[in-house]
Chains A and B, each alone.
Chain A
Amino acid sequence: MRALVAALVWSFLSAPVDALEVFACEPEWGALVSELAGEQARVTVALTAFQDPHRLQARPSLIASTRRADLVVCTGAELEVGWLPLLLRRSGNPNVRPGAAGYFLAADYVRKLEVPTRLDRSQGDIHPQGNPHVHLNPRNITRIARKLAQRLAELDPTNADFYEKRLDDFVERWNAAIVVWEKRARRLEGLIIVPHHRSFTYLADWLGLDVIATVEAKPGIPPSGAHLSRLLEKLNVVAPAAVVRTPYANEKPTTWLAERLDTPVLVLPYTIGGHEDVTDLFTLFDTTLTLLEDLQP
């Protein structure tokens, strides 16, 4: 009980002072906010690389973080539909409700791939606006960074110049990195991969990887034994370079398939923290490319 009271008192005392309180749903947006705002933002990230962004629950700690936030930065395109609306309503924080300046959805500012033409749940857990895993194309990051910097300046006008300078600096370093990555990507073109979920659509689109099938028959629905057998038959002919999954995906079906195909299972970092080398957005793409390059003889 004393510990609880102490925790409560400490919580009150450690309430925000001057920096922007930012609540980021996914680690990639937390990292982007840090690139653009540096010390001017205190960032809380809801998810780790080991948690499925579709399946999070509106935990008490997340409601508390949303309550204190000046800015919520999430992916959108219904990726967080199961928990973000709930967090926003439960927190009672008008600064971050949909439509407010403190509500920023990254996927609103890029062109979505795999926009379904047929909206029906028999197609699995599909998103009407298209595939939401937009951050794995670094060119999308540039676009989102520009809009996010604008939003930071709007919320904190006294530091507008600071955010602009940091954006210019980030974009310069980012574009230089893209040049290097795209040079490396030429060797990867046409590499055949089988991802567990459609998590790597934007990465494949950018690198020219060949996604020949997904382990899941339908998005969000675990693959049945019959589906896996059919998939195995089909893939035996094409010999994919790897079966690819995110750190949070169920490893069982990918391992089963990879063993029978005699190809490696590749766990790509997917986001910051998904691999021991991945500490920011730059290392996210560096490591992803290295891991893909290592597949080739």
Chain B
Amino acid sequence: MKQPRCTIIYLCGVGLLYGNAALYAATDPIADLRREVLDLRRVFDARIELLEARIAVAERAANRARSSAAEAVEIAEDAVIGTTTGSASANAFNPGMGVVLVARVADIGHRWDAIPGFISGGESGPGKSGFTLGESEVNLKASIDDLFFGNVTFAFEDEDGETEIAVEEAWLETTALPAGLTIRAGRQFSGIGNLNSFHRHADDFIDRPLPYQAFFAGQYIADGVQARWVAPTNLFLEIGAELDWGNGLPALGSDDTSPGAWSLFAHTGGDVGASHAWQAGVSYLSADVRDRGVGEDDPGVAPEFTGDSDLVVVDFVWKWAPLGNPTRTNFKLQGEYFRRVEEGTFDGMQVDTDQSGWYLQGIWQFIQGWRVGYRHDRVTTDNGSIFLGTLLEDVDESPRRDSLMLDWSHSDFSRLRLQYVYDQVLTESDSQWLLQYIMSLGAHGGHRF
């Protein structure tokens, strides 16, 4: 009985062993599982690929959305910028308006109205003591269209108790001519010399230097046409010419068609390093003078000069500021030399005169807002012996002055100035004190060199 039990056990063992194998061999469950796994993997791979593709599509869409969002932001910002920079009101085209208020208080000992030896033909001299409104002015300027720019200045002048409104400037200028060419027409400050083309409130001293007073009665204002050309060079070079038909100085009128005065001028300038800049110029003015009196008297009352007048002006400016930054300290040296030769008749006599003048001034800004300046100006005549014993007699000592000034600017728009003048225009010297204010309202003025 023992053996068959064993056999049974053996069989059972084998059966167990093989039975399992047989079972596997019959249904192949592992392969099935593998297949299933592989199938699943294939399905998942496909799904993953699909998902990846979808993600890529979604990403591209997102990118597009993002860039179009960025674009939208840009467009929106452009729109905002557009609406904030534009202005729709009716006065949007009003010209730029600037008002300058100028007045002074003065203590003048000996007032003079004419410089000995000169037939100035207009107002000159230190003016009266006390309060004077000076030359307050209103300036309007704007583009006229795409070809022209216009500018007008009305000055309020206080003349011995009477206030006059004068058209100081009224001109238009081309803006679209090619090759650096500009043409200006109307009443304008002549481009000759240096100081002449500046408004008086931009000056560094309260009054104009003596040669300006002697030769132009302060400032040469031309009624006519000016052409300027700037050369296309590295070095600044400007050449200009003017024709003047005006009734004012220097010609005091023109004949029927030809202008009474014409001029030529050239300016050049540049930088020397970062801290220095300069400008120099030479100008020529020719005038057919008609009935120029000694002062501002009515024509025909006092003796007058009629004849040819030739004037040459040489000018220079040199400026220094540390590294070219004038905010704290800066220095300016400026001078002009005038020489005028005239031939004609005065009070029925043939005259031939040779007159000259110059000024030299230095302005130093020593701390922000504060400047001191010194100026020497003088004029000399060689009128000939014909005038001995008259107002036009040559004087031994040239009429001259020494001026000191101190001014303070709180901002770009306000300035207070104190000036002392040691005046030796007449044989008797005079000490003069002047206090002036210059205030700008409205449109920002230009920082001319």
Q: Which residues from chain B contact A59 at a C-beta distance below 8 Å?
A: 269, 271, 277, 449
CB within 8 Å for A48 and B180 given contacts A68-B232, A250-B368: no
Identify which of residues 66-94 in chain B touch chain A, using a CB-to-CB cut-off of 8 Å. Answer: 74, 77-78, 80-81, 84-85
Say how far A32's CB is from chain B's closest CB, in angstroms.
18
Q: Which residues from chain B contact A68 at a C-beta distance below 8 Å?
A: 232-234
B448 touches A111 (CB 8 A): no
Bitwise interface map of B from 427 to 449 toward A, beta carbon under 8 Å scored 1, else 0: 00000000000000100111111
B178 touches A94 (CB 8 A): yes
Nearest A residue (CB) for B444: A81
Q: Which residues from chain B contact A63 at a C-beta distance below 8 Å?
A: 230, 236, 238
Partner of A61, one of B146, B228, B267, B277: B277
B412 touches A48 (CB 8 A): no
A8 at the interface (CB under 8 A from B): yes
Identify which of residues 85-99 in chain A touch chain B, using a CB-to-CB cut-off of 8 Å. Answer: 85-86, 89-94, 97-99
A50 touches B323 (CB 8 A): yes
A67 touches B180 (CB 8 A): yes
Q: How far is the CA of A94 from the CA of B277 in the complex (A)?
A: 26
B81 touches A109 (CB 8 A): yes
A174 at the interface (CB under 8 A from B): no
Q: Which residues from chain A contact B446 at a C-beta distance below 8 Å?
A: 58, 82-83, 85-86
Identify which of residues 143-158 in chain B touch chain A, using a CB-to-CB cut-off of 8 Å. Answer: 143, 146, 149
CB within 8 Å for A91 and B180 given contacts A61-B236, A64-B235, A82-B446: yes
Q: How far is the CA of A115 from the CA of B369 in the complex (A)?
A: 27
CB within 8 Å for A52 and B237 given contacts A97-B175, A125-B411, A220-B411: no
Chain A interface size, as a band, is 35 or more
Identify which of residues 241-297 in chain A touch chain B, using a CB-to-CB cut-off of 8 Å. Answer: 248-250
Bitwise interface map of A from 56 to 88 toward B, beta carbon under 8 Å scored 1, else 0: 111111011001100000000010011101100
B448 touches A86 (CB 8 A): yes
Partner of A222, one of B177, B325, B369: B369
B324 touches A48 (CB 8 A): yes
B410 touches A64 (CB 8 A): no
A143 at the interface (CB under 8 A from B): yes
Q: Which residues from chain A contact B326 at a C-beta distance below 8 Å?
A: 55, 57
Q: How far is the CA of A248 from the CA of B325 in the complex (A)?
A: 7
Q: How far is the CA of A12 from the CA of B173 in the complex (A)?
A: 27
A121 at the interface (CB under 8 A from B): yes
A61 touches B270 (CB 8 A): yes
B353 at the interface (CB under 8 A from A): no
Identify which of residues 288-342 in chain B touch chain A, using a CB-to-CB cut-off of 8 Å. Answer: 319, 323-328
Say how far A197's CB is from chain B's closest CB, in angstroms.
11
A124 at the interface (CB under 8 A from B): yes
Partner of A51, one of B77, B279, B323: B323
Q: How far is the CA of A4 from the CA of B268 in the complex (A)?
A: 10
